[in-house]
Amino acid sequence: MRVDRLYTRATASQIASDIACAHRRDPALHRVRGMFAAEQWEAIWAPAENGPPGDHVVWVRLVPLR
């Protein structure tokens, strides 16, 4: 799903990195709220197709447990 917000390139990149790496961090030290310790997420960022130049979006996907 796409996060319903536009970001600068640096912010979108940092948010995607924080989400994708959250499963490796102590849950007390998560930099993103709403994530549980047992969850693993994929996240990517890209330029916004319908936004002003320079705006970016973040896409996230919950990785299913095996």
Q: Encode pLDDT of 14-43 as tens digits.
A: 999 999 988 888 777 777 777 777 789 999
Residue 44: which of 29, 21, 60 has the closest Cα?
60
**Number of domains, the chain:** 1
Instruction: Give domain status of residue 57, yes or no.
Output: yes
In a domain, residue 20? The reply is: yes
C-alpha–C-alpha distance, residues 52 and 13, integer Å: 17
Residue 49 is assigned to a structural domain of this protein: yes
Tokens of 28: 């007390």
- Residue 4 inside a domain? The answer is no
**Which structural domain range is residue 42 located in?**
9-63
The CB-based long-range contact list for 16-22 (8 Å cut-off, 24+ gap) reads 16/43, 16/44, 16/45, 16/58, 17/43, 19/43, 19/58, 19/60
**pTM higher than 0.85 for the full model?**
no
